[in-house]
């Protein structure tokens, strides 16, 4: 077989949560029932399953297919052999995340919940430690958060963390780009195409609009919930990275002041979907939530706790409880930071990068194919003449 052949690939993917991959008899039901497959170059999810069955690791790494699936679960519901294609796609995303990550941490975290939790605790303790060692004076007669944790220091920390995370995430993105654009074939793609397609990345980063094409299982509602979550997340990111000086103030503004409204919006946008998803996973009421890996739970719980502690900081601050505010602030950061550090580059959260990037790369590929075909045609005509 061309490229790297790994007869145990199906076992690898099973390790990332794949279910019943061997059961697939390649009938094609999943591929045709999938509402996304036709617009995605054809052939998934079966193409992915088949690559796994035949151990074609290189080709699996080169495919974007898993990232183009949004898990409506129609394939799994319709599968005549209960081979669970949707879960195979999910597991492939985890597997690819681990493959894109050069450190090996992603693989470790996906395969071992203990390792992931330990990592989170370690980073959390580190953050707590930082506060214990370097916190500012604790004003106790009124809430002065900026004295306890000066905003410029926190901001500095934010930026350092963002830089580190971006480095790992971008490294993963680079590997993804390199592999999926065909290692050698990439040089046939005009740089212009790469630039032209850039808007695609941002459109999908902010809207996930491709998801709306996904199957019948309340995908529209799921997409909206997810969009809410993303807006909450991006709001928070904006507030803590760019607008922290405006956001973390000791002055208590009236309720309708944008600073507070935006914060509340972000909190609701994070809390409502995370709670909803956790309930759904617990009850296994949708195909997408039939199987939950530890990484899925950790992601949801951490996000939920971050939002919860965040809003509690606000409640205590507004309620004028200085000690509680400082304490919960430390807890808040001791949850938020490890969540970001562990989840964003090395675990489930990385999809914030890989999803839009895959659609971008897919767009690039399509455009390049069109361009190459257009370039080839006159040539072949000439030969024919």
Partner 1 sequence: MIATADNERHKDAVIIGGGIAGLQSALDLADQGYKVAVVERQASIGGRMISLSKVYPTLDCASCITTPKMSAAAHHENIELLTYTEVDSITPGPNGHTVVVTRKATHVNADKCIGCRLCEYACDTEYPDDFEQGLGSVRAISVAFTNAIPQKAVLDADYCLACGLCLRACPTDAIEFDQQPRQETIHADVVIVASGFQLNALTIKPQYSAAQNQNVISPLTLERLLAPHGPYGRVLRPSDGKIPESIAFVQCAGSRDQSIGVPYCSRVCCMYAIKQAMLLSGSLPTADITIYYMDIRAFGKGYEQFYQNAKAMGINFVRGKVSKIDSVDKDDLLVHVEYTEEPQDCVRKQRHDMVVLAQGMIPQWNPTSFSPVQIGSDGFVATPDSVSPCTTNVPGIFVAGAAAGPKDIVDSIAEAGAAAMEAGRYLSKRAHLDHTARTVALELIA
Partner 2 sequence: MDNKDENVVRDAAMPTTPRVGVYICRCGGNISDVVDTEHVAEICRLIPGVAVSKVHTFMCSDPGQQTISDDIKQEKLDRVVVASCSPFLHELTFRGAVVRSKMNPYLYEQVNIREQCSWAHKHDPRGATAKAIQLISAAVGKVSRATPLAKIRLPNHRRALVVGGGPAGMKVAADLAACGISVVLVEQSDRLGGKLHTLNRLFPTGQAAIQLAAKMESQVLADPKIEILLNSKVTKVSGFIGNFEVGIHGNFGPSGKTTEIHTTVGVIVMATGFKPYVPREGEFNYKKHPTVLTTVDFNSLLATQNTEGRTLHYEGRSIGSIAFIHCVGSRQVDGVHTPGPDGRLNTYCSRVCCTTVLNQALQVRQRFPETRVYDLHQDIRTYGRGHEEYYTDASRAGVVFFRYHGDEPPTVTNANGPTSPLRINVKDYLSWGEELELEVDMVVLAVGMTAGPCETLVDQLKLPRGEDDFLQEIHPKLRPVEISVNGVLLAGTSQAPMNIQETLAAAGAAAVKARAMFTTEEVELNPYVAQVDTHLCEGSGVCLTQCEYDGALAMVETQENGHSVRKAQVNPGLCVGCGACVAVCPTQAINVSGWRIDQYDAMVDGLVRDVEPAMV
Tokens of 172: 């993963």
- Report the distance separating Cα 257 and Cα 264, nearest Å: 11
Residue 4, interface with partner 2 (CB under 8 A)? Answer: no
Residue 19, interface with partner 1 (CB under 8 A)? Answer: no
- For 255, list phi and psi in degrees, rounded to 5: -55, -40
Residue 216, interface with partner 1 (CB under 8 A)? Answer: no
Residue 43, interface with partner 2 (CB under 8 A)? Answer: yes
Q: Which of residues 120-159 bind partner 1 (CB under 8 A)?
A: none
Considering CB distances under 5 to 8 angstroms, the limit depending on partner class, which of partner 1, partner 2, none binds residue 37? partner 1
- Report the distance separating Cα 75 and Cα 72, nearest Å: 8
Residue 32, interface with partner 1 (CB under 8 A)? Answer: yes
> Which CB sits closer to partner 2, 32 or 280?
32
- Report the distance separating Cα 48 and Cα 18, nearest Å: 12
The dihedral over CA atoms of 147, 148, 149, 152, expressed in degrees to the nearest 10, equals 20
Long-range contacts of 313-317 (CB under 8 A, 24+ apart): 313/145, 314/260, 314/263, 314/267, 316/143, 317/143, 317/145, 317/252
> Which CB sits closer to partner 1, 37 or 235?
37
Residue 46, interface with partner 1 (CB under 8 A)? Answer: yes
Tell me which stretch binds partner 1 (CB under 8 A): 19-27, 232-240, 279-287, 330-338.
19-27
Check: CB of residue 146 under 8 Å from CB of residue 137: no
- For 56, list phi and psi in degrees, rounded to 5: -90, 80
Tell me which stretch binds partner 2 (CB under 8 A): 24-32, 67-75, 89-97, 255-263.
24-32
Residue 38, interface with partner 1 (CB under 8 A)? Answer: yes
Residue 53, interface with partner 2 (CB under 8 A)? Answer: yes
Applying CB under 8 A, which residues contact partner 2? 1, 7, 10, 20, 22-26, 43, 50, 53-54, 81
Applying CB under 8 A, which residues contact partner 1? 25-33, 37-38, 42-43, 46, 77-82
């Amino acid at each position: 077989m061309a490229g790297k052949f790994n007869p145990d690939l199906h076992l690898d993917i099973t390790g990332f949560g794949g279910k019943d991959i061997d059961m697939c008899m390649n009938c094609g039901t999943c591929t045709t029932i999938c509402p996304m497959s036709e617009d995605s170059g054809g052939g998934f999810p079966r193409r992915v399953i088949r690559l796994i069955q035949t151990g074609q690791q290189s080709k699996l790494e080169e495919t974007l297919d898993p990232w183009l699936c949004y898990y409506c679960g129609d394939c799994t519901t319709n599968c005549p052999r209960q081979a669970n294609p949707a879960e195979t796609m999910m597991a492939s995303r985890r597997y690819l995340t681990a493959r894109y990550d050069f450190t090996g941490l992603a693989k470790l975290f996906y395969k071992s919940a203990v390792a992931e939790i330990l990592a989170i605790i370690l980073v959390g303790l580190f953050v707590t430690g930082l506060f214990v060692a370097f916190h500012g004076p604790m004003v106790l007669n009124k809430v002065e958060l900026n004295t306890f944790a000066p905003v410029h220091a926190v901001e500095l920390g934010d930026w350092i963390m963002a830089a580190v995370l971006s480095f790992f995430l971008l490294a993963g993105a680079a590997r993804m780009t390199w592999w999926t654009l065909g290692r050698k074939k990439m040089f046939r793609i005009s740089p212009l195409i790469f630039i032209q397609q850039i808007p695609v990345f941002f459109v999908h980063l902010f809207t996930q609009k491709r998801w709306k094409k996904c199957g019948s299982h309340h995908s529209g509602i799921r997409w909206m919930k997810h969009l809410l979550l993303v807006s909450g997340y991006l709001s928070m990111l904006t507030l803590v990275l760019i607008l922290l000086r405006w956001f973390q103030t000791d002055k208590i503004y009236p309720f309708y002041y944008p600073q507070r409204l935006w914060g509340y919006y972000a909190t609701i946008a994070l809390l409502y979907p995370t709670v909803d998803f956790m309930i759904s996973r617990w009850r296994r009421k949708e195909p997408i939530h039939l199987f939950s890996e530890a990484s899925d739970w950790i992601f949801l719980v951490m996000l939920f706790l971050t939002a919860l502690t965040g809003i509690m900081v606000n409640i205590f601050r507004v309620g004028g409880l200085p000690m509680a505010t400082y304490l919960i602030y430390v807890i808040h950061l001791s949850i938020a930071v490890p969540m970001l550090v562990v989840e964003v580059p090395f675990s489930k959260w990385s999809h914030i990068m890989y999803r839009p990037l895959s659609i971008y790369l897919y767009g690039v590929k399509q455009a390049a194919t069109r361009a190459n075909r257009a370039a080839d045609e006159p040539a072949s005509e000439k030969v024919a003449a």
